[in-house]
Amino acid sequence: MSTKQHASLTKNPPGNLKEAIDWILSVHGLDGGKGGDGSQELRQEVVQLLGQIPNEYQDQNMLEKVEEELNKIAKADQLIFKMAKTLNKFIDGIAKQGSQGNFSSHKKDTYTSNAVKRDGELCACIFLGCIPLIFGGLSYLYWQCNDGKDNMWVSNPYWKAAQRNQTKGSNKNNPRWKGYYIWDSSRSNTQPAFTAYKINEEHKAVCLYFECSGYDHAKLNGKEAIDVPGLLNDLFPRDADVSNSNYSQYIKQVLDNTAQNVDYATTAKDNPFTFLYLASQYYFQYKQSQLTDCNREPKAIREMLYWLMALPYTKVFQQASEAIKQGITKHGSGGTPAKITFTNGVTLNSATSPFDCYLSTTCHYASCILMTLEGRLKGNTDNATKSKDNTLLHNIYSNLEFKFHYPDTIDS
């Protein structure tokens, strides 16, 4: 957890989830300060970066839709500003009353919108680097604070007879972060009582997650975890089933639904964040494809975690899902489609399991582990080999930070 307030948006690039969100709010003048609004300059520079991607390289339909929305003149209609407004709603919803003055990672009186005018491309690189970190961090928080099919009290809110035969006062933990249910045999009805967890309640999973993401629990209000989804509803598509018992399957729905609906005029307007996330994926895939002389092998656990953060944008990652399917088909059981069931009951199905999202969500979680260990991401600590510019997250995802070696094929 970092409590230091930075005096510059370009000299102090974001290093955790909180700082990434605060950086975007500061650029848009939504942090309560007097620095002005640099959103127009930022969106123009982002369009320039996305325009580097060759026509034949990725999903041009998606990229054209993003660029079309970014080029809109009215600020209220622009993707980045809409996303920033939703992030601002989230921050206003979790900040303790009276703490807003020092809640942001940036000092409000030191930033001016001239920073974006002066270092536009640098700011656009920082912005694109923030997107994967925020997407992974907030989508997981959103899913965990929602109800799920894995929660027996959602599908059937009353105790079954077999479930009543427990010791008085025993409790059943909700598989997610909302709280827990408890049955008391002295109660006359058959419905369990629910105790909600609060986001500032120390040692509870939801509070720990906020702390690992850079937040000081003392500056969080007493909002219950059950209320968090209402602050984030506008970030993620409503047609994806957040009650899905598997987070990776939920993310698969989010991305597939967005990609499939790209031609609908209102889709990008309604889901600006997901569109920007997909655009950032294509951008970092392209940036990695342009690198040469990437020979570094990770030699420590922290380097292995950074290696995982950049993996989803490599050439070999695009082959991994199909290779896993082929392996299950070859070695699994159950005919077609083949399955592999592990001792803990988890089953992988060659036809229906979202292997790409199983892998990508694992890679996103590597950043959470690093933030927990380091407080904020530090990147390559070897000054002789690290990138010289100041775009930490951008350089991690584009592999400029470490220049790790990734094989070209699964076999190699």
Burial class (CB in 10 A: 0-12, 13-18, 19+), 153: middle
User: For position 389, what pLDDT does the model report?
Assistant: 78
**Mean pLDDT of all residues in 374-390:** 86
Q: Counting every residue, how long is the chain?
A: 412
User: For position 189, what pLDDT does the model report?
Assistant: 56
**Mean pLDDT of all residues in 372-394:** 88
- Residue 220's pLDDT band, with cuts at 50, 70 and 90, is very high
User: Is the separation of the CB atoms in 289 and 315 below 8 Å?
Assistant: yes
User: For position 113, what pLDDT does the model report?
Assistant: 62
For the ranges 144-148, 197-201, 335-339, 347-351, which has the lowest average pLDDT? 335-339
Three-point CA angle 396, 21, 286, nearest 5°:
35
Higher pLDDT: 106 or 146? It is 146
Question: For 290, phi and psi rounded to 5 degrees?
Answer: -90, -5
Q: Which amino acid is at 332?
A: G
Higher pLDDT: 344 or 95? It is 95
Tell whether the model's pLDDT for residue 162 goes beyond 60: no
User: For position 380, what pLDDT does the model report?
Assistant: 94
User: Is the separation of the CB atoms in 274 and 250 below 8 Å?
Assistant: no
Tell whether the model's pLDDT for residue 341 goes beyond 50: yes
- Residue 224's pLDDT band, with cuts at 50, 70 and 90, is very high
3-state secondary structure the chain: CCCCCECCCCCCCCCCHHHHHHHHHHHCCCCCCCCCCCHHHHHHHHHHHHCCCCCCCCCHHHHHHHHHHHCCCCHHHCHHHHHHHHHHHHHHHHECCCCHHHCCCECCCCCCCHHHHHCHHHHHHHHHHHHHHHHHHHHHHHHHCCCCCCCHHHHCCCCCHHHHCCCCCCEEECCCCCEEEECCCCCCCCCCEEEECECCCCCCHHHHHHHHCCCCHHHECCCEHHHHHHHHHHHCCCCCCCCCCCHHHHHHHHHHHHHHCCCCCCHHHHCHHHHHHHHHHHHHHHHHHCCCCCCECCCCHHHHHHHHHHHHHCCCHHHHHHHHHHHHHHHCECCCCCEEECCCCCEEECCCCCHHHHHHHHHHHHHHHHHHHHCCCCCCCCCCCCCCCCCHHHHHHCCCCCCECCCCCCCC
**Mean pLDDT of all residues in 73-96:** 88
| pTM of the complete model beyond 0.85 | yes
Higher pLDDT: 304 or 192? It is 304
Tell whether the model's pLDDT for residue 322 goes beyond 90: no
pLDDT digits (tens, 9 = 90+) for 27-48: 888 877 666 788 888 999 999 9
Higher pLDDT: 329 or 300? It is 300
- Residue 159's pLDDT band, with cuts at 50, 70 and 90, is very low
Tell whether the model's pLDDT for residue 353 goes beyond 50: yes
Tell whether the model's pLDDT for residue 160 goes beyond 50: no
Conformation bin of residue 310: beta by default, left when phi > 0, alpha when psi is -120 to 50: alpha
Q: What percent of the chain has a predicted confidence (pLDDT) above 70?
A: 79
User: For position 9, what pLDDT does the model report?
Assistant: 80
User: For position 195, what pLDDT does the model report?
Assistant: 80
For the ranges 138-142, 260-264, 312-316, which has the lowest average pLDDT? 260-264
User: For position 156, what pLDDT does the model report?
Assistant: 39
- Please give the mean pLDDT across all residues of the chain: 82
Tell whether the model's pLDDT for residue 191 goes beyond 50: yes
Tell whether the model's pLDDT for residue 351 goes beyond 70: yes
Place of tokens 């230091």: 4
- Residue 369's pLDDT band, with cuts at 50, 70 and 90, is very high
pLDDT digits (tens, 9 = 90+) for 163-183: 434 433 344 445 688 877 666
User: For position 153, what pLDDT does the model report?
Assistant: 42
User: For position 328, what pLDDT does the model report?
Assistant: 82
